[in-house]
């Protein structure tokens, strides 16, 4: 598939393809399978007319990409953001394919997005947008086709509207058509904290593997939303000093460690880190270059790139966001001996517990939070060991090791299924 002319380093789909090519070559993947696995199965673009509170109308553009379904229904979030574009959605769908394969849950990769700014829309307008978008996709999503979930700009309320709209179109309640729902509508205990909790599980096993001591260590978290905030809280509880966190407004720093519970209370009250107590504000653009042992980028794509990778001081990077490190930056980090646990492994705790939610909905029987956490830890720890072993065996970094593991599994199931003709 051709990629539109633009800055190749910042193009997420091209970044995915670059890693895919390296991993496929190391695996000796057949040319035909290379062509199949490098392309999305289905791309859907929809127009979403919404009547605004002012009485006027606005037509939004929405996407849903289903990258691959060899292992099961497509799975992936929906983001509402002004900078959503088709290359981003393609890349995120492909990353979900490899992510699901790495943790070996029976899903393929999907992703959706709507070009909008939720902060400028009322609750009624967001509901109307969500329901019209869902109605347009009703023939393409569902428990055995494609199971959406929350992402940037969306939440459990929006998932509830998706579930209700889908159910109305099918004449029955279908809780398993979407995950990340409120508990009373078929959501799972442990889902909200799942991605952040998974990051901490991976951090601990990766630190042990690479002999990086946790005692007296320092961590830096970019992003202070659901993923970053949960990760920072769990790091704090582990006794690791979190010296810096950031949000879309500012970054804060305290070399002796931030009071994370106080910062969470501050942001709950003010919706921003601006004016947070007992810390200094620092430029967001230089936050990632502050001294630390562990760096968790949990914001958006392309945050670690060729411009700043040479100044990163962390010993270990655990990717909480999707695509936070560019291909060029990967090479720089590897040359400098900085280990990076890639997104398709590190933040897979979210899709793992989404899988648990889907299973519980289909069974109509729900698990305790302890059982959810126990099963999540088991899957994440096993997946890290398999990725690290793959990387070591093939003398490559963890990212290519993860891609190799994911591609190998999807290729295997594609061969078993064969091609319908």
Which residues are catalytic, by number?
Answer: 111
CB atoms within 10 A of CB 43: 16
d(CA 59, CA 115): 10
Q: What is the DSSP string of 126-176?
A: HHHHHHHHHHHHTTT-BTTTEEEEE-TT--HHHHHHHHHHHHHHHTS--GG
Pairwise CA distance, residues 54 & 189, whole Å: 39
d(CA 39, CA 41) in angstroms, rounded, equals 6
CA atoms within 13 A on the CB side of 303: 27
CA–chain centroid gap for 178, Å, is: 16
Helices 349-363 and 194-209, packing angle to 10 deg: 130
Within 10 angstroms of residue 220's Cβ, the number of other Cβ atoms is 29
Distance CA 70, CA 90 (A): 17
CB 222 within 8 A of CB 397: no
Burial of 136 (0-12, 13-18, 19+ CB in 10 A): middle
Cβ 105 vs Cβ 69: under 8 Å: no
Question: In 3D, which of 15, 98, 421, 78 has the Cα closest to residue 3?
Answer: 15
Count of residues making up the chain:
421
């Amino acid at each position: 598939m051709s990629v539109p002319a633009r800055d190749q380093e910042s193009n997420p789909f091209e970044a995915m393809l670059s890693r895919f090519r390296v991993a496929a070559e190391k695996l000796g993947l057949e040319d035909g399978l290379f062509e199949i696995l490098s392309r999305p199965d289905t791309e859907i673009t929809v127009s979403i007319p919404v009547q605004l509170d002012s009485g006027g109308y606005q037509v939004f553009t929405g996407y849903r990409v289903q990258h691959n379904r060899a292992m099961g229904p497509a799975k992936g979030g929906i983001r509402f953001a002004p900078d959503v574009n088709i290359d981003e959605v393609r890349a995120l769908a492909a990353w979900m394919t490899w992510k699901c394969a790495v943790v070996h849950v029976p899903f393929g990769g999907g992703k959706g997005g709507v070009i909008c700014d939720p902060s400028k829309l009322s609750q009624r307008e967001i509901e109307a947008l969500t329901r019209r978008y869902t109605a347009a996709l009703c023939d393409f999503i569902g428990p055995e086709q494609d199971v959406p979930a929350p992402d940037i700009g969306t939440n459990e309320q929006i998932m509830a509207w998706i579930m209700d709209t889908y159910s109305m179109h099918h004449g029955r309640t279908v809780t398993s058509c979407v995950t990340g729902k409120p508990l009373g509508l078929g959501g799972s205990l442990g889902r909200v904290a799942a991605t952040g909790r998974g990051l901490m599980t991976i951090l601990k096993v990766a630190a042990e593997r690479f002999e990086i001591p946790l005692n007296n260590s320092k961590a830096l978290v970019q992003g202070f939303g659901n993923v970053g905030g949960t990760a920072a809280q769990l790091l704090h509880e582990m006794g690791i000093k979190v010296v810096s966190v950031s949000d879309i407004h500012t970054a804060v720093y305290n070399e002796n460690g931030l009071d994370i519970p106080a910062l969470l209370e501050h942001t709950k009250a003010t919706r921003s880190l601006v004016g947070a107590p007992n810390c200094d504000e620092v430029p967001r653009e230089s936050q990632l270059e502050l001294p630390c042992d562990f760096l968790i980028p949990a914001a958006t794509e392309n945050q670690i790139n060729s411009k700043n990778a040479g100044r990163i001081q962390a010993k270990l990077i655990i990717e909480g966001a999707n695509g936070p490190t560019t291909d060029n930056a990967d090479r720089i980090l590897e040359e400098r001996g900085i280990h990076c646990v890639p997104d398709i492994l590190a933040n897979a705790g979210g899709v793992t517990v989404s899988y648990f939610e889907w299973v519980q909905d289909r069974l109509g029987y729900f698990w305790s939070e302890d059982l959810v956490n126990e099963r999540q830890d088991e899957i994440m720890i096993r997946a890290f060991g398999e990725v690290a072993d793959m990387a070591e065996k093939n003398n490559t970094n963890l990212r290519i090791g993860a891609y190799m593991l994911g591609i190998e599994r999807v290729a295997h199931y594609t061969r078993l299924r064969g091609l319908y003709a």
